[in-house]
Copies of this chain bind each other. A is one copy, B any other.
Amino acid sequence: MGKLERHATIADVAALAGVSVGTASKALNGRGSLREETRMRVREAARQLSFEANAGARSLHSGRTYTVGMITTDTIGRFSIPVLMGAEDALGAGEMSVFLCDGRDDPIREQYYVKTLLSRRVDGMIVTGRRTEARAPIGANLPVPVVYAFISSADPGDCSVVPDEAGGARKAVEHLLAVGRTRIAHVTGPEHHNSARVRAAAAAERLAEDGLSLVAPPLFGGWSEVWGRQAVGILLAGRSEFDAVFCGSDQIARGVCDALRAAGRRVPQDVALIGFDNWDVMTEACQPPLTSIDLDLEGLGRSAAEMLLAAINGSPSPGRHAHPCRLVVRESTTMPLP
């Protein structure tokens, strides 16, 4: 199992095939005018030496590396993964590779990564993060295009692709209305999170369009199941009746669901329940399975990557682009057919 085979160079290939380096290069890249027999001979030699052209040397000429950098603002997590996968997907199709850099919420670390990526001559960068908050641009006047995905840049001229959270919240409310609920409560994450505020506001707005309002002010807390359970206590102690709860996350929804059941309220008969994020772990384990809003992060990542590719090819798409959310209906808002 000797791992010591040196990397073959095109000179090795040329020597084995009995041609000059230039000719070997042409043979392998389909350039120039060569006899088919020569081409084959070179290809065979390359195969035999398992030759792979040195991408670094190659990019010296083309000026392109077919590589993009991906920087996470905070840490690689549940939200960045799908974005990452979507991006990887779209870029892979364009034969590009991805450099992954985990910023860990440390600006020094982040700047270090930006420099590293630039020195590696990436063709572009994608910046992502765990929260949808706007953030300071990663650099000014960078020599390569940058796209912000999920998170957005504070500079409105930068290209950002963000989930349409307001639209998602509206869809949630519309769905509850469609299944006949009108007395809706809202339990969500901390008020200092942009996501919590935006979703709450959009929900209220959508209700207002039908002349309705939330049965109580939104309950801001954490994103956890524990908070969901606590919130039910608050709701039940309050004086307003409710027939649906729109939750800011699936974890909250699950907590709400468990607590409602413990309190003797049936889901969905007595209270319809809808979450946010469409996280399979929660939606499937919930009893009953949870209706939720899917951010389509993979699609978002793909879309961001496509915009980056376009920008690399000279057609940037500056500005903020909202990526639509999808409603996924399960039994927490509708009874299964018998």
The answer to whether A81 and B77 have CB atoms under 8 Å apart is yes
Tell me which residues across on chain B come within 8 A of A226, comparing CB atoms.
284-285
**Min C-beta distance of A196 to chain B, whole Å:** 19
Whether a CB of chain B sits under 8 angstroms from the CB of A144 is: yes
Each complex incorporates copies of this chain amounting to: 2
The answer to whether B97 and A143 have CB atoms under 8 Å apart is no
The answer to whether A121 and B56 have CB atoms under 8 Å apart is yes
Tell me which residues across on chain B come within 8 A of A296, comparing CB atoms.
none
* B-contact 0/1 string along A1-17, CB 8 Å cutoff: 11111110000000000
CA distance A142 to B52 in the complex (A): 12
**Min C-beta distance of A99 to chain B, whole Å:** 6
CA distance A53 to B118 in the complex (A): 9
Whether a CB of chain B sits under 8 angstroms from the CB of A237 is: no
The answer to whether A144 and B100 have CB atoms under 8 Å apart is no
The answer to whether A76 and B65 have CB atoms under 8 Å apart is no
The answer to whether A3 and B99 have CB atoms under 8 Å apart is no
The answer to whether A56 and B65 have CB atoms under 8 Å apart is yes
**Min C-beta distance of A168 to chain B, whole Å:** 22
**Min C-beta distance of A216 to chain B, whole Å:** 24
Whether a CB of chain B sits under 8 angstroms from the CB of A55 is: yes
**Min C-beta distance of A275 to chain B, whole Å:** 14
Whether a CB of chain B sits under 8 angstroms from the CB of A38 is: no
Tell me which residues across on chain B come within 8 A of A224, comparing CB atoms.
284-285
**Min C-beta distance of A261 to chain B, whole Å:** 9
Whether a CB of chain B sits under 8 angstroms from the CB of A165 is: no
Indicate whether A118 sits within 8 Å of B52 (C-beta atoms), given known contacts A3-B143, A143-B6. Answer: yes
In the assembled complex, 20 residue pairs joining A and B whose CB atoms fall closer than 8 Å, in A order, are A1-B157, A3-B145, A7-B118, A7-B121, A52-B115, A55-B121, A56-B56, A56-B65, A67-B120, A84-B100, A85-B102, A88-B100, A88-B101, A97-B116, A98-B99, A98-B100, A99-B99, A224-B284, A255-B285, A281-B281
